[in-house]
Amino acid sequence: MKTNNFSRKTAAMVAVVSLGFAISCSQDQTPFQTEAANAAEDAITDYYYEDADDMGSLTLEATPEAAGGKTAKLIDDRLLCATITVTPDSINGTEDNPIGDIVIDFSDNDAGECVDPRGNVRKGKILIHFEGKRFHPGSFFVLTPDGYSINDIQLEGTRTTTNIQETIVSNPLHEIVLTGGKATWPDGSVATKEHCVTREWIRANTPLLDQIIVSQCADEAFAATGVNRRGINYEMSILVPIVHQRGCPLPVSGIKQFVDLNSGKVMTIDFGGGECDAIVTISIDGSSRTVNVGRRG
């Protein structure tokens, strides 16, 4: 089965972890390092939610091939040892408007976990309820982690992805709402988050040039709000749409703004002007620094 995902490239994960490492290993612990580390951790949890969402999308593409209550395996190396159970709603669903539920179980094996070829360890289940065909206007799916963790970071919350595009001939456009988001890290620290963003898939002549454009929901004051692992309340806005290109470790362009509600500090992260690299510019209260997040400090 053809895979149309962006999230499986763990180079993005390596990049944001390197950012956190580079900040933490610096000898001059300044407010810049602290705020940049906070942003790195936010990027990690975002990545893991996107990874779960991406695997859910892949299973949705396979649902026409699955029968009620029957298990199936998908050709994606993150899912090779997972058990996937698809249960269509034969009473309320139709061929044109399928309805049903999917369970992706990473613990239904002797090891009690799944380890992908890049070393990511997944445990627990991902529950999905879907209504409508994946790329048809008005279709949606609701993803809920159930004891699910990746690399011992446990995720909670409800993530609803709705197709808000008006026609099937236009670029796929989805609104993604996370409610009750919670990430518990191995040391017991907790980060909470809620967000509303839109995600547009721009198809190119070659898949390598495909782009995903992430914007803030039009009727929302912020793209995300939450409390990070250090107990800091924050608001995040997308000032310039975030552009992801297939195979690039970080967004190739776009600007995010974080406001620390505890101190009032404002930080922006500028991902550049379109180059596929690991360089970002971080600005805090008018002071800027360019960081190569692919290089450790």
Please give the mean pLDDT across all residues of the chain. 81
In a domain? residue 198 = yes
Nearest residue to 257 (alpha-carbon basis) of 273, 275, 272, 238 = 238
* pLDDT tens sequence across 99-135: 999 999 999 888 899 998 888 899 999 999 999 887 7
Q: Which domain holds residue 217?
A: 11-289
* CA of residue 246 relative to chain centroid, distance: 14
* pLDDT tens sequence across 228-251: 988 989 999 999 999 988 777 678
Q: Are 174 and 213 in contact (CB under 8 A)?
A: no
Please, which residues bridge with residue 243 across strands?
213, 253
In a domain? residue 111 = yes
In a domain? residue 4 = no
pLDDT-derived band of residue 79, with 50, 70 and 90 as boundaries?
Answer: confident
* pLDDT tens sequence across 141-174: 999 999 999 999 999 999 999 999 887 777 889 9
How many domains, in total, are found in the chain?
1
Model's pTM, two decimal places?
Answer: 0.83
In a domain? residue 294 = no
Q: Are 211 and 204 in contact (CB under 8 A)?
A: yes
